[in-house]
Chains A and B, each alone.
Chain A
Amino acid sequence: MNSLNFLVCGVGGQGTVIASDVVAEVGLKAGYHVKKSDVLGLAVRGGSVISHIRWNKEKLHAPMVGTGEVDIMLSFELLEALRRLNFMRESGIVVVNTQKIPPVSVTTGKEEYPSKEEIVQKLQGSVKRVYTVDALKKALELGNSKVVNTVLIGFLSSLIPAEPELWREAIRAFVSPKYLDVNLKAFKAGRKLGGME
């Protein structure tokens, strides 16, 4: 594998930036040149958040990727996966958390949130493989709704040929020591959902 382009997306407050930091760190440790770009918008919660991560054996220039250039999307939210679909290669993989976070435009009845089936179908018709993960359920089982991101990282790690220890190392680097234990459990649970461990 000479290069991999990732896209991590979701809703502000879900922990997408830490997830993208982990993906970037693993790339560096696995011997790639790495660049990453976050678009956070406002630093308050509830908006769309997106991170691009590039792994490449050659030296990289731009920190972001364009239309049709993403190999793997990790989406923390159903609608956000659909919103970013045009970044995907036809040969790409989408990992999507089945959590729905309706925007206020939906809760106030101004707009409709598409059904889960509709979204997954659209994703499936556009890329090679779609994995749906109920990361919130797993996180709640572990007793902390905040570890959704680490469950998803665990699932993602099961798809990528990089040593699980590299992922754990990166998680240690970005997670507060207080919550390290539950995050490592969440990582393991995520890998298990991905058929590893």
Chain B
Amino acid sequence: MIVLLTGNEAIARGAYEGGVRVACGYPGTPSSEILETVAREYKGEIYAEWSVNEKVAMDAAAGAAYSGIRAMVTTKLVGMNVLSDSLFYLPYTGLEAGLVVVVCDDTGMFSSQNEQDNRWYAILGKVPMLEPCDSQECKDMVVQALQLSEKFDTPFIVRSGMRIAHSKSEVVLGERASNIPKAKDFPRDIAKYNCNALFARNKRQVIYKRFQDLKEFAQTTNLNKVVWQDTDLGIISSGVVYEYAREVFSRASFLKLGMVHPLPGKLIKDFASKVKTVLIVEELDPFLETQIKALGIETRGKDIFPSFDEILPEKMRELAVQAGLIKDGEEKRIIDLGYLPTRAAVFCPGCPHRSTFYVLAKLKVPVTGDIGCYNLGCLPPFNAQHTMGSMGSSVGQLHGVSISGCPEKAVATIGDSTFFHAGMPPLVNMVHNHGKGVVIIMDNSTTAMTGHQDNPGMDQTLMGKPTQRVDIHRLAEAMGAKMVRTVNAFDVKEVEVTLKECLKWDDGPAVMITKGECIFISRNPQPAYTVDLNKCIACETCIKVGCPAVIKAEEIYPKNKRKKAKIDPVLCNGCGVCAQVCATGAIYQTEKLEAKE
């Protein structure tokens, strides 16, 4: 049967067909839908979980693979940095059953803090890597990676990317593998599974030998394909840009690499010897090009294509024309659109983070920030989250500010899921090392930005099983913070008063938990608010809460000649933050007023 699947859905399908029994990961765009699909479609066959972070997911998958079952880990590009610590011991130990790590890169930086080329991890960690170019290959390569993982006794990485993960193409479905291994007695093979240097040192030889075998395998595997056409131009490529190149250079010959580490040296030399010009088409770093040049082959590549951002077909064609590789196509019509208002993402109407950023902007305190929806607080109208680096870094940075002698008391903003992921160690560190400042844990009871996945603060797992909530307030107290306050995130005054109190605290870090459910999971939606135009004096205070539902009315307030405010009843979710900041009490909740009448 042929179906349309996204790359992420196809990877989930590959896990199913390939006999995976355990799949772990941490949510992160563009990889999140893989585990969501596993949990939705293959619940009966595969155990799936959102682990607390990528390193924990990697270790959990390792433990499962040591116990004899096939396992998969999913991560976004930067999660590789978190899990690499654990990934890197696995080529040393090997495993009892197949283990595959799926990483989704984010070339073009649509939703990530950096643009790393994760192919280097294959070399650095000595882990073989496959790279699919569409959904069919996503599915097939996960199946194949699991088989090869068992054959070569090493984990395999499958590298996807945003344009594969969030694109759909046709996939021929297969059956789930037969004879899927089951958990067996745990191997007490210390020399294999304990990476004490005594044992691990010997494994360097094993890894070296494995790569010699893998290099031989790469020469003949069907993962690498040659398409012979016109031999004036021979293109070596992999991943989604291979697909772009097939359209842009429709007549060229291609060596399409499905296995990007290790590379098939002989195959590449043979291909290069049969074409006039070798062109390497790859996004980001000259990963293939550097290695292919080292084989003594003259190539073109990064002299034409940039080493950052995407190389979409249109740009590829333009650069190829400039380089004289193809003839100029027809002229494109460019319509002058004039200046268009920008559309940045904003806090949703009813978002529990709005009040906190309204207060932070008002108090003008320095804010070290973290990764999540609340980073939208760095944008207008708040401009109040001043840093953002990596998961959990807000709390570590806050500590650094406090020990620097900086005259200002600073605040860190971190979400519930991010706190569990990487915010706990730096808070413990602050307690131990006398750090000062306010850690605001913005607990919206979900992992909102990546699509509302569960986290340890919630009462249900990815598999839909009821579970115990980890209480953040008690956790912070147990970590040794002496000042811990939980406030209603929708109560602007309570947020402000408590934050001021926390800012005065000098005996170690103060922790303020702003509790309020994300509007997407809220079980208690409220009726919309309305502006009483007779009372509105067009002071625009409500506009400053940056809510998409609060807009300007046509009516003008004669004294200041400004437009009065109004509220879009379709967008408003009834949180009441605008009403709380209104100076004249002009904003009221529709249903309540009607009830009064």
Contacts and interface: CB of A to CB of B under 8 A. Distances in A.
Interface of A: 11-13, 21, 24-25, 28, 33-48, 60-64, 66-68, 79-80, 82-83, 85-86, 90, 101-114, 122, 126, 136, 140, 145
Interface stretch (B80-88, B498-506, B547-555, B585-593): B547-555
A28 B170 contact: yes
B163 A47 contact: no
Nearest to A37: B167
A121 to B, nearest CB: 12
27 contacts: A24-B4, A34-B4, A34-B169, A37-B166, A39-B110, A40-B166, A41-B111, A41-B345, A42-B29, A46-B343, A46-B344, A47-B345, A60-B169, A63-B243, A64-B167, A64-B312, A67-B332, A68-B333, A80-B343, A103-B343, A104-B381, A104-B548, A105-B342, A105-B380, A106-B341, A109-B543, A113-B341
Contacts, number: 163
Interface string B1-44: 01110000000000000000000000001001000000000000
B334 interface: yes
Nearest to B348: A45
B546 interface: yes
Nearest to B375: A42
A76 B142 CA distance: 37
Nearest to A106: B341
Identify the 3 closest CB pairs spanning chains A and B, nearest first. A66-B314, A47-B345, A111-B341
Most buried by A among B3, B110, B338, B551: B551
Contacts of A107: 543, 548, 550-552
A122 B343 contact: no
Contacts of A37: 163, 166-168
A103 B342 contact: yes
A105 B334 CA distance: 26
Interface string B499-538: 0000000000000000000000000000000000000000
B246 interface: yes
Interface string B453-464: 000000000000
A114 B340 CA distance: 8
Interface string B215-255: 00000000000000000000000001001101100000000
Contacts of A106: 341
Given A64-B312, A114-B340, 5 more contacts: A45-B346, A83-B343, A104-B344, A122-B335, A122-B337
Nearest to A123: B335
B67 interface: no
Main secondary structure of the interface of B (DSSP, over half): loop
Interface stretch (B89-97, B181-189, B443-451): B443-451
Given A37-B166, A113-B341, A85 B335 contact: yes
B168 A36 contact: yes
Contacts of B340: 79, 82-83, 114
Given A62-B244, A63-B167, A63-B168, A108 B543 contact: yes
B29 A40 contact: yes
Nearest to B333: A68
B312 A66 contact: yes
Given A67-B314, A85-B337, A46 B167 contact: no
B280 to A, nearest CB: 18
A162 B168 CA distance: 20
B570 interface: yes
Interface of B: 2-4, 29, 32, 110-111, 134, 163, 166-170, 240, 243-244, 246-247, 312-314, 332-335, 337-338, 340-346, 348, 373, 376, 380-381, 448-451, 540, 543-544, 546, 548, 550-552, 570
A13 to B, nearest CB: 8
Given A61-B247, A107-B552, A108-B380, A47 B343 contact: yes
A24 to B, nearest CB: 6
A45 to B, nearest CB: 5
A28 B168 CA distance: 11
Contact of A108 (B163, B314, B449, B546): B546
Contact of B342 (A24, A45, A111, A136): A111
B551 A46 contact: no
Contact of B341 (A40, A61, A105): A105
B29 A104 contact: no
B166 A46 contact: no
Contacts of B341: 79, 102-103, 105-106, 111-113
Given A63-B169, A66-B313, A104-B346, A36 B4 contact: yes
A113 B247 CA distance: 38
Nearest to A107: B551
A45 B345 contact: yes
Nearest to A48: B343
B167 A44 contact: no
A98 to B, nearest CB: 14
B348 A104 contact: no
Nearest to B165: A38
Contacts of B312: 62, 64, 66
A65 B126 CA distance: 37
A112 B338 CA distance: 12
B244 A61 contact: yes
Nearest to A83: B340
B342 A61 contact: no
A86 B167 contact: no
Looking at A66, A67, A114, the one whose CB has the most chain B CB atoms below 10 A away is: A66
Contacts of B380: 104-105, 108, 110
Contacts of A79: 340-341, 343
A86 B450 contact: no
A42 B477 CA distance: 33
A145 B243 CA distance: 39
Nearest to B346: A46
A83 B134 CA distance: 28
Contact of B168 (A34, A68, A110): A34
Given A85-B337, A103-B342, A108-B381, A44 B170 contact: no
Contacts of B552: 107, 109
Given A24-B168, A102-B551, A107-B552, A43 B332 contact: no
A63 to B, nearest CB: 4
Given A34-B169, A67-B334, A105-B380, A44 B345 contact: yes
B167 A36 contact: yes
A42 B548 contact: no
A137 to B, nearest CB: 11
Contacts of A46: 343-346, 348, 548
Contacts of A40: 29, 110-111, 166
